[in-house]
Amino acid sequence: MLEQLYDPSWLERRASAGFVLGLSYSVIGIATAVALFPKSPGLASVAFTSLLLVPTLNRMLSIEEKQAADTKGSLLSPFRNHSDIISVYLFIFLGILLAYSMLSLVIPNIAATDFFGQQLSVAGLTGKAYATQGLLANILVNNLIILALCTIIALVYGSGAIFLLAWIASVWGSIFALIAKNSAAAAGTSPLAYFALTIILVFPHMILEAGGYFLGVITGGIMSKAALKETSRKKRLRKVAVDAAIMMALALCLLIVAALIEVYITRNTFRMFRLI
């Protein structure tokens, strides 16, 4: 019902509204999960949030598939065609991350562990956003596996792959909040300041890593649409496939750069702050 309040084309023109969408849908999803599954709402909250987002993203992916099939292929055409939906995914992701972060910050640690125990228990599996161990190769392989999962799930479920992105955002949000609260407790100060510091330190590699996952989900979603609509029109299907190949190449580049920043900059910066 909520998706009837706005048009996907309007959202593409005002991508920043995706932040409000991700934040508000997360609040609704968390509240619904707490009401129905009070003992362990973590995973259910992500599912309810994703269900609210699927109709809108499904319509947007249909628009993007048509653009990819209609546009004359070039190296730059995917960026012109899909920059709007990439921005929407980015803002939705940040809205979800903030919702889980703020809730984790304001409730006691015991309650946060009960509410988001599933997120906290697998924090090291979704991109290692706050890695304290592991070599570059391990982090990169882990992130490439997640990219492959994003793409495959999007191929099979289309816009339903937002579930995986929402899950990653909820994990990162919960673990960043926990880090901030533990640091603030040790220093005897406000966790909000430490949360802001944590976000600043991880933001460069986090946003690049998340961007790689967005591209995988969008590519898989567009190919899923094309497989249904363009099967009998090989030329249009070929255009979409070339578009997808360029997007995946960019996703790989983003993940490589993100892993380098994480290993050689983010980790060393965290070490420096711990020493201080």
Residue-wise pLDDT tens digits, 152-169: 999 888 888 899 999 999
Rounded CA-CA distance 130/120 in Å is 12
Which of these ranges, 134-143, 169-178, 195-204, 249-258, has the smallest mean pLDDT? 134-143
> Is residue 2 situated within a structural domain?
no
Which of these ranges, 97-101, 116-120, 148-152, 232-236, has the smallest mean pLDDT? 232-236
For the chain, the average pLDDT equals 82
> Is residue 203 situated within a structural domain?
yes
Q: What is the mean pLDDT of residues 52-73?
A: 81
Nearest CA to 33 out of 16, 45, 22 is that of: 45
Number of domains in the chain: 1
CA atoms within a 13 Å half-sphere pointing along the CA-CB vector of 220 = 24
Domain that holds residue 70: 9-275
Nearest CA to 55 out of 11, 90, 99, 100 is that of: 11
> Is residue 4 situated within a structural domain?
no
- Give pLDDT, residue 150: 92
- Strand segments, DSSP code E, in 17-149 are none
> Is residue 209 situated within a structural domain?
yes
> Is residue 1 situated within a structural domain?
no
> Is residue 172 situated within a structural domain?
yes
Assigned token pair, 148: 């492959």
In this structure, what DSSP letter does residue 72 have?
Answer: P
> Is residue 3 situated within a structural domain?
no
- Give pLDDT, residue 276: 47
Sequence letter at residue 183: S
CB-count burial class (<10 Å; 0-12, 13-18, 19+) for 209: buried
Q: What is the mean pLDDT of residues 65-85?
A: 74
